[in-house]
Amino acid sequence: MHKSLSIYRRKLSHVCNLKPYKDTRWLMPNGNPTGLFVYNCVADQKVPVILSDPHIGTWYSCGPTVYDSAHIGHASCYVKLDIVQRILKSFFNIKLVTAMGITDIDDKIIKKGIETKTDFRTIAKQYEYEFWLDMSNLNIEKPSIITRVSEHIGSIEQFIKKIINSEMAYVTSDGSVYFDTSKFSSYGKLHKMQESGEPLDDFKKNKMDFALWKGKKPGEPSWPVSWGEGRPGWHIECSAMVSKVFGSQLDFHAGGVDLQFPHHENEEAQSCAFHNTLQWANYWIHVGHLHVKGDAKMSKSLRNTISISELLEKYSADTFRMACLMSNYRYPMEFSDQMMETAEQTLKNFKFFFKDVCVYVNNSNIQNGDYNDKLLDDLQKVEHQNLKFLKSDFDTASCINNLSNFISNTNKIIKADNNEYYPVPMILIADYVTTVLLNLGLTLKESKQDNVSGSIIDTLVDFRHTVRLNALTRKDKDLLNACDVVRDKLKAIKVQVNDSNQSSSWVYTR
Ligand SMILES: [Zn+2]
């Protein structure tokens, strides 16, 4: 049997074996535990991640509505999702097949098209192009599959038709189609609600009912379907596109926490109705909001947004990612210069450490190298602790904190004045820390231009180090002052020098 078909069959069989988890509304899939635990809003607690094949997972992210430039709220959402995906792939050996939906038909896009006298398709294409450019500048991996609403009208029509036929949706006199929430007993499982929802209008049977299809309005783009003419509602598009790609069951479904209700609630309801199943998405991954310090919430309508290109003019993508790593994905993040400076300093400490290790292991003044069992034990301990942190709802903040403490303790040995020399454990430690940071999506790169000026700075810092050691031995104050002047001048051009008696190292601070 073709491999993907065999996976499919296993997935279908496991849907029939769902059982409630500790008296919650979340149903535990039947499959193989991965050892990971992730918070799920349906269970309102961390639940075990169980996959049919523990090394294969399916993932769908709700993508942007492409009507304007993306801002740092989008950046934090997609960087954090990228981090979670990388953890699944690199630390837990799960091959992820990822898809993202692009909303390229929507009220806001149509409105912008009318305002700017531009075809709505051109607006969508322009901002989608810009979105992928921003994502690439943030070192976010592109999804394996990209689905656009405009390319899936046929799948959406078929999806809605099946729900109408099962009498869980109804067509109204204006050609719209609504999902009948009174026919779906688990409506509200993602979001414990009192009667919210849009007010009852002339067409809805129940207050919570939502539009699967919007009947044609004059001047708006529309598509002919068997029950009339119009365009898809927002929620239906993701369900139809996911079902086309992944079938009747999905492992991970992700987006910003603002999508939990009503968007994901509605997606789950209509997809369960379509596939006649009790649970469609097994794991909901919701990213906490980003607030700009002092502002309630950043949104385009409040005009308090910072675009991704504005962000990257001031800070590197690595610095922003470090800030995201230091705030766990699920929690709100308060954006401020202070937060970014802390992230920059943390990143700089790692870079200093790598340079210091490099200088330390290449030290030609010491004769006898040694293994250091304690250092190797510490390394093993840190590896074990970090896996434990990441297994528990992707706790990157504790992982980074643990690594920071580890390099700071290791640094004390590097900087000590006792001629102790442990090249092997030092290389293994630097290798491990580098691998973890790269696996979390940091690039740790300097630009090409920086590489050239880097060799010049290397030479200057080496020379200054020799002069400084001589001056220290001879207690030559004038020469020491001259060394300080060089250090301060370098600092002014964003090169920070870190002195010790063993060596001097440096990093760019921008
Ligand atoms: Zn969606």
Share of the chain above pLDDT 70, in %: 92
Least confident of 321-325, 341-345, 369-373, 489-493: 369-373
Instruction: Note the pLDDT of residue 199.
Output: 62
| Residue of 371 and 510 predicted with greater confidence | 371
143 neighbors 98 (Cβ within 8 angstroms) = yes
Average pLDDT over every residue of 474-491: 92
Distance 360 CA to ligand 1 centre (A): 51
Residue 9 has pLDDT above 50, yes or no: no
Please state the rounded mean pLDDT for residues 57-62.
98
- Pick the last residue of a domain from 278, 299, 334: 334
Same domain, 371 and 355: yes
| Highest-confidence segment of 23-32, 239-248, 414-423, 492-501 | 239-248
361 residue type, one letter: V
Strand order in the sheet with 250-256: 145-148, 95-103, 56-65, 250-256, 281-287
Identify whether residues 421 and 366 lie together within a single domain.
Answer: yes
Q: What is the pLDDT of residues 423-482, one digit of tens each?
A: 999 999 999 999 999 999 999 987 656 666 888 888 899 899 999 999 999 999 999 999
Shared domain check, 378 and 298:
no
Q: How far apart are alpha carbons 509 and 319 in whole angstroms?
A: 11
Question: Ligand 1 centroid vs 294 CA: distance in angstroms?
Answer: 29
Verify that 330 and 344 share a domain, yes or no. no
**Of the candidates 392, 375, 343, which has an alpha carbon nearest to the alpha carbon of residue 87?**
392
Q: Which residues of 92-107 are buried (b: 16+ CB within 10 A; e: fewer)?
A: bebebbbbbbbbbbbe
Give the end of a domain, one of 293, 311, 334. Answer: 334
Which of 7-16, 25-34, 325-334 comes out lowest in average pLDDT? Answer: 7-16
Same domain as 347, residue 232: no
Q: Is the pLDDT of residue 13 over 50?
A: no
Kindly state whether residues 283 and 394 are assigned to the same domain.
no
CA of 242 to the centre of ligand 1 (A): 9
Which of 315, 334, 353 delimits the end of a domain? Answer: 334
The answer to whether residues 61 and 287 touch, using CB atoms and an 8 Å cutoff, is: no
d(CA 308, CA 298): 13
> 179-234 pLDDT, tens per residue?
999 999 889 889 876 555 566 677 889 989 999 999 999 988 999 999 989 999 99
In which band, very low, low, confident or very high, does the pLDDT at 1 lie, cut at 50, 70 and 90? very low
Q: Are residues 262 and 223 in the same domain?
A: yes
Q: What residues make up the domain containing 291?
A: 3-334
pLDDT at 347 over 70: yes
pLDDT at 504: 82
| Least confident stretch, 20-29, 153-162, 201-210, 364-373 | 364-373
CATH number at residue 10: 3.40.50.620
Q: Do the beta carbons of residue 453 and residue 490 sit within 8 Å?
A: no
- Indicate whether 219 and 367 sit together in one domain: no
Q: How far is the CA of 329 from the centre of ligand 1 (A)?
A: 18
CB-CB neighbours of 506 under 10 Å:
22
For residue 301, give the DSSP letter.
G
- Give SS3 for 229: strand
Q: DSSP string covering 410-437, please?
A: HHHHHH-SS----HHHHHHHHHHHHHHH
Confidence at residue 12, expressed as pLDDT on a 0 to 100 scale:
46
Measured in Å, residue 3 CA sits from the centre of ligand 1 at 28
3-state secondary structure of 127: helix
- Rounded to the nearest angstrom, the distance between the alpha carbon of 206 and the centre of ligand 1 is 23
pLDDT in tens, 79-95: 999 999 999 999 999 99
How far CA 491 is from CA of 214, 273, 461, 466, 484, in Å, comes to 60, 63, 12, 19, 10
More confident site: 343 or 10: 343
172 C-alpha vs ligand 1 centroid, how far in Å? 24
Environment class of 60 (CB within 10 Å of its CB; exposed 0-12, middle 13-18, buried 19+): buried
- Give the total number of structural domains in the chain: 2
Please indicate, yes or no, whether residues 104 and 208 belong to a single structural domain of this protein.
yes
| Residue 409 clears pLDDT 70, i.e. is over it | yes
Q: Which residues pair with 291 in a beta bridge?
A: 334
Spacing, Cα 263 to ligand 1 middle (Å) = 6
| DSSP collapsed to 3 states, 342-353 | HHHHHHHHHHHH
pLDDT value at 24 more than 80: yes
User: Residue 14: pLDDT above 60?
Assistant: no
The reported pLDDT for the residue numbered 86 is 98
The rounded distance, in Å, linking the Cα atoms of 329 and 399 is 13
Q: How far is the CA of 129 from the centre of ligand 1 (A)?
A: 20
How far does residue 235's CA lie from ligand 1's centre (Å)? Answer: 6
**Based on the domain organization, do 266 and 399 belong to the same domain?**
no
Q: Do 105 and 146 share a structural domain?
A: yes
Q: What is the pLDDT of residue 495?
A: 87
How many CB atoms lie under 10 A from the CB of residue 483? 22
pLDDT band at 10; cut points 50, 70, 90 = very low
Cβ(32)–Cβ(51) below 8 Å: yes
Do 47 and 189 lie in one domain? The reply is yes
On the question of pLDDT at 323 being above 60, the answer is: yes
In Å, how far are 355, 407, 419, 423, 430 from 375, measured between CA atoms? 19, 11, 16, 11, 12
- 99 vs 244: CA distance, rounded Å: 11
